Amino acid sequence: MAKKQQPDLGAVNDENQAPFPPLPSSGDAVIDYIPSEELTALPHPGSKIQSLMEGLESKDWTTICEWLNTARRFALFHADLMIPMLERVVLVLVKAMKNPRSALCKTSIMASSDMFKAYGDKLLLEGTDSDAFNQLLLQLLFKASQDKKFVCKEAGKALNSMVASLTPLPLLHRLRGYVTHSNLRVRAKAAVSISSCVSKLGLERMKEFGLGTLIEMAADLLNDKLPEAREAARSTVVSIYRAITEDEEEEEQKQESWHNRRKALPYAAVSQKTQPATGRDWYKEKV
């Protein structure tokens, strides 16, 4: 039996007919990168959530991209529904970021940005033994350090979203280990995030973290090889200095204000509030 000849899709069948378009290869799939503001709510989120993990764990990378965009819509419009599976979703993001396909990697990074905005500190998974957030943080620092601008720029946005959405003190604890990372660029990206966190802290929160620790971290980065790390370290030092001096100025203003008010008060009223049990000598000395 003669074998049926397949048409040559790249050839012109007739001089008046355009050639057939070539068949797309599996690697030529077009992925849409949808900005967060263009995402919409899901029509039936309650039933859709049942299929989320199956879609995210698909073996087909284009299917994963589609479901990552669905996860973004859950995060932005139906956040509560995805809370029970946050850890699993974060681990999917980590796996996708490690994938050599830039399209899948970028889509997962965009998803992480939306999840930071939606869940904030919940992504830290504190109170559990999960290290999913730490894995996510490491991958974002790695991707932000790459030469490939296609991915690098998006990872930088995700790190900014992370710093803006999470409470700075617990995030600082997660970032501090990267000050001594062997990868120069990872150190630099971590330094930038650390600087942004510190700028949001008041003196009391800095003391809670450890002023000495903060200063040591900044000192290490001031000697770093990359200008980005050194500049971030200088910014950190400025934030610490401002917090300390503002606190001192506040204390001086309080003391001055109290001193002025005390002068205007009748002696008897002041002495009742401030005079120790030993008598009037204390008040006379202070005035």
State the CATH number of the domain containing residue 162. 1.25.10.10
- The residue with tokens 């600082």 is 172
Q: Are residues 144 and 232 in the same domain?
A: no
Looking at per-residue confidence, does 244 or 27 come out higher?
A: 244
The dihedral region occupied by 272, where left means phi > 0, alpha psi between -120 and 50, and beta the remainder, is alpha
pLDDT digits (tens, 9 = 90+) for 33-80: 999 999 999 999 999 999 999 999 999 999 999 999 999 999 999 999
Domains in the chain, number: 2
Q: Are residues 96 and 129 in the same domain?
A: yes
Last residue within a domain, chosen from 101, 134, 166: 166
Q: Is 270 among the domain residues? A: no
The per-residue pLDDT of the chain, averaged, comes to 84
Q: Are residues 173 and 162 in the same domain?
A: no
Q: What is the pLDDT of residue 254?
A: 62
Q: Say which amino acid occupies 115.
A: M
pLDDT digits (tens, 9 = 90+) for 194-228: 999 999 999 999 999 999 999 999 999 999 999 99
Q: Are residues 141 and 189 in the same domain?
A: no
Q: Is 127 among the domain residues? A: yes
Q: Are residues 68 and 101 in the same domain?
A: yes
Least confident of 88-92, 96-100, 139-143, 259-263: 259-263
Q: What is the pLDDT of residue 150?
A: 86
Q: What is the pLDDT of residue 260?
A: 62
Report the distance separating Cα 251 and Cα 22, nearest Å. 75
Q: What is the pLDDT of residue 251?
A: 72
The dihedral region occupied by 60, where left means phi > 0, alpha psi between -120 and 50, and beta the remainder, is beta
Q: Is 30 among the domain residues? A: no
Q: How far apart are the first and last CA of the chain?
A: 118
Q: Is 238 among the domain residues? A: yes
Report the distance separating Cα 170 and Cα 124, nearest Å. 8
Rg, C-alpha atoms of the chain: 29
In eight-state DSSP terms, residue 279 is: -
Alpha carbon of 244 to those of 219, 228, 239: distances in Å?
A: 17, 25, 9
Range of the domain at 243: 168-264
Q: Are residues 52 and 157 in the same domain?
A: yes
Q: What is the pLDDT of residue 255?
A: 66
Q: Is 49 among the domain residues? A: yes
Q: Are residues 79 and 188 in the same domain?
A: no
- Residue 275's CB: how many other CB atoms inside 10 A? 17
Q: Are residues 162 and 178 in the same domain?
A: no
